[in-house]
Amino acid sequence: MVAVTAVAQVSRADYRVVPLPDGINGIKDNDFKLKESTLVDYPAGNRDMERNAAMLSQYIEDLTGLHLSTRPVNTGNNYGCISLQLDPKMTSDEGYRITVTSRSVIIAGKTAAGVFYGIQTLRKSIPVGKTDQVLLPAAQVVGSPRFGYRGMHLDCVRHFFSVETVKRYIDIMALHGMNRLHWHLTDDQGWRIEIKKYPRLTEVGGWRNGTTLGHNSPVNDGIRYGGFYTQEEIRDIVRYAADRYITIIPEVDMPGHMVAALTAYPQLGCTGGPYEVWGMWGVTDDILCAGKDETLRFVKDVLDEVIELFPSQYIHIGGDESPRVRWQECPLCQRRIKDLGITASAKQSAEARLQGWFTSQVQLYLTQHGKRIIGWDELLDCDIDSTATIMSWRGADPGAQGAMKGHDVIMTPVDPLYFDYYQTDKTWNEPIAFGGCNTLRKVYDFEPVAADLPADKRQHILGAQANVWTEYITCEPQIQYQVLPRMAALAELQWLQPEMKDYQDFKARLPRMVDIYKHYGWTYRAKSLIIEN
């Protein structure tokens, strides 16, 4: 009989992950042996670091099957441990430094968020698969993000997604080192956030009688569709995101994209309705009436509850695609224009300036409550002062112009950062998408800061974000297919200085990232790994 001895499985870490660390410097020492007996140490009494430790342990267990215990410590003997530490002397708020020697692994950050990003890098360095031991080569690995705003957007209106789906989206963001989730919660096709003072918003506005079929065809499926998040669910999601250092920025789009609210409260529109929660995609003429005081009261009441739910400093107030034809014909809007002494200018109609006034009222209200606004780049066409942050979506030029005028700017240009767009020009085997062609390569090559932007305006570009509008995205696997692996390319441009970017090198590192997607059962576009588009 032949004796069968179990052979220990050993794997080896590779720090060249996505996004690539800024530096990986070898240290002359033996490998650190990560095994089941390795402890994860964190500073006693620090709740954030305790949670960080628990997450690292969970990640390692997910990937390798090794279960590491966590341990609060007061002093420095970390022999044989992974030790999470705060180092106030580090310069970047979100940067990390991982020091691996044969004795220990130290993950340090100036903040707990920085430590979390170090944890993500370590996690991605470890090969996926059951193992008894992972060898971590002795090295110092450092990274810090180029941009402070590293966002993803999710439209939960055109299609509605469960709390679990939103949480998984947050998990995916965390893996990619992102820190802002722009959550689109209201639109013509549904109102998805419970507002206690206006229950009809979700009772009536949360549901549509049917959805257009195909590419916005006149044929409607006739199936009642909808849903909304209770305030309790929203608090839960906000907390879940915060635990992963992700701030959720809610969007209440106004004065356009409001048909769901108008259906619930028709008196808020210029014509008084009746309105119907929309089953088509696109832009409708029915928007909030700017002539009625009741409309502003409504908006402020809604924002009161939104502010309570979201600790984010920013509230997104939309402002996009707001036709002003109703305002042109509405006696109350015209009276408001007269009362305010608004006149058309060479570049702006009186109604455009009325939208500026409306937005300024909302901005003032939010400022008084310690908040700041973000709006779509249409706000640049109205009178709005430079304390409003602009989301540049109709290309990157509006953002650059906004920065010239002193606005902070977040870059989300349709081309190439709309992830609801196709990822290839060969669309015949693709799930239906909005249109366009934003390949992995185009995303990777995007540069948020225009080459000719003067040096003193560059700091206004806060970062970049990809948008996921869901007219044609009906289920979670389809969301994941649209964002993966393009999020990996976006992460790299959010983190790396431009001179460090190298598309071929990125593509060589991508398969190990995709191993993690596969491991968690996330859907992704496999073709993007092997061919250009």
The DSSP code sequence of 215-240 is TT-S-B----EE--B-HHHHHHHHHH
Rounded CA separation 100/342 (Å): 65
- Rounded to whole angstroms, the Cα distance separating 523 from 516 reads 11
Minimum CB distance to ligand TNX smaller for 334 or for 478: 478
- Pick 134 or 262: Cβ nearer ligand TNX: 262
Question: Which of 100, 95, 148 is closest to 120 using CA atoms?
Answer: 95
CB 192, min distance to ligand TNX, A: 14
Q: Is 321 a catalytic residue?
A: yes
Binding mask 437-476 for ligand TNX (x = CB under 6 A): --------------------------------x-x-----
Residues written for the chain: 533
Place of tokens 């430590």: 115
278 touching ligand TNX, by CB under 6 A: no
Q: Give yes or no for a cis peptide into 274 (omega within 30° of 0).
A: yes
Please give the helix or strand (H or E) that residue 154 lies within, else none.
strand 149-155
The distance of closest approach from Cβ of residue 466 to ligand TNX in the complex, given in angstroms and rounded to an integer, is 11
Sequence-distant (≥ 6) Cβ neighbours of residue 93 within 8 angstroms: 110, 111, 113, 114, 148
Binding string, residues 65-104; x marks residues near ligand TNX by CB under 6 A:
----------------------------------------
Write down the catalytic residue from 187, 188, 251, 492: 187
Cβ-Cβ contacts under 8 Å for 130 (sequence gap 6 or more):
9, 64, 65
Is 420 considered catalytic here? no
List 418, 444, 446, 472, residue binding ligand TNX (CB under 6 A): 418
Q: How far is the CB of 397 from ligand TNX (least distance, A)?
A: 15
Does residue 175 sit in helix, strand or coil? Answer: helix
Residue from the set 310, 358, 434, 481 that interacts with ligand TNX by CB under 6 A: 434
Which one, 321 or 430, has the nearer CB to ligand TNX?
321
Q: How far is the CB of 251 from ligand TNX (least distance, A)?
A: 9
The yes-or-no answer on residue 519 being catalytic is no
301 binds ligand TNX (CB under 6 A): no
* Identified binder of ligand TNX from the candidate list 320, 351, 408, 492, rule CB under 6 A: 320
- Tell me which of 420, 464, 480, 490 binds ligand TNX, using CB under 6 A: 420
Shortest Cβ 382–ligand TNX spacing (Å): 14
For residue 372, which amino acid is it? R
Phi, psi of 133 (to 5 degrees): -155, 135
**Tokens of residue 149, six digits:** 């705003």
Pairing of strands 133-136, 32-35: antiparallel
Residue of the chain from 376, 419, 444, 524 that contacts ligand TNX (CB under 6 A)? 376
Does 321 help bind ligand TNX (rule: CB under 6 A)? yes
Q: Which letter does DSSP use for residue 43 in this model?
A: E
Q: Kindly report the CA angle at 124 between 123 and 128, in degrees rounded to 5?
A: 90
Between 286 and 320, whose beta carbon lies closer to ligand TNX? 320
Catalytic residue among 257, 316, 407, 460: 257
Contacts for 258 with CB less than 8 Å, ≥ 6 apart? 186, 188, 268, 286, 287, 288
Write down the least CB distance from residue 281 to ligand TNX, Å.
7
Rounded to a whole number of angstroms, the minimum distance from the CB of residue 459 to ligand TNX is 24
The torsion of the CA quartet 447, 451, 457, 461, rounded to 10 degrees, works out to 0
Q: Which residues are catalytic?
A: 187, 257, 321
Q: Which residues bind ligand TNX (CB under 6 A)?
A: 320-321, 376, 393, 418, 420, 434, 469, 471
